[in-house]
Structure 1
């Protein structure tokens, strides 16, 4: 069973693409919290998945595309993606997104 908390020193970062890495923060079968760290110019390529995703911009600035519409978001902003919608991001600065997925993304474990 996953512990009830995660400490920063326990995070395992996985490179997703050049300048983009992720760490699973917490999870249960019905929900998952994931941090995505981006370097300036890094791309979270357009993709879709069957999970609902809510993302919080913790640091930096991003152009966020959801279902063909692009919006520039900065710290404190958030966005939601319904299942199967095409979405992606471009990091305009170094930044950090904190994403929640429901149900859990088993492919991240």
Structure 2
């Protein structure tokens, strides 16, 4: 299954093989799509926001607080504030992430 996203999204390259688009946002909550090419990464990082992620397409190696698991379509994961986490796209894929509160850094033009 492939998810159809609005055509007018503004995609921003985050890292080679990884781009994001804000789907909707309010100060208390944000929904973001991350499109990955095979081998694309979201390097290990942390932030003060709670994060819930849904694997819409593809397969990812997800690392949270030093533990790595492989997740496929329909899987989800939660990242507590300040935990170090990142992903590697084993295949081309799409993550849908929510952040509480909103990631204001994602609203600034790159």
- Distance in 1 separating the partners of 2:58 and 2:99: 21
Post-superposition offset of 1:60: 0.1
- Distance in 2 separating the partners of 1:15 and 1:88: 16
Residue 13 (structure 2) pairs with residue 15 (structure 1): yes
- Distance in 2 separating the partners of 1:29 and 1:81: 19
Q: 1:85 aligns with which of 79, 83, 86?
A: 83
TM-score for both structures, normalised by structure 2: 0.92
- Distance in 2 separating the partners of 1:81 and 1:15: 22
5+ residue gaps, structure 2: none
TM-score for both structures, normalised by structure 1: 0.93
- Distance in 1 separating the partners of 2:76 and 2:40: 19
Post-superposition offset of 1:9: 1.8
Runs of 4+ in 1 over 6 A off after TM superposition: none
- The match for 2:101 is 103
- Distance in 2 separating the partners of 1:46 and 1:37: 17
- The match for 1:72 is 70
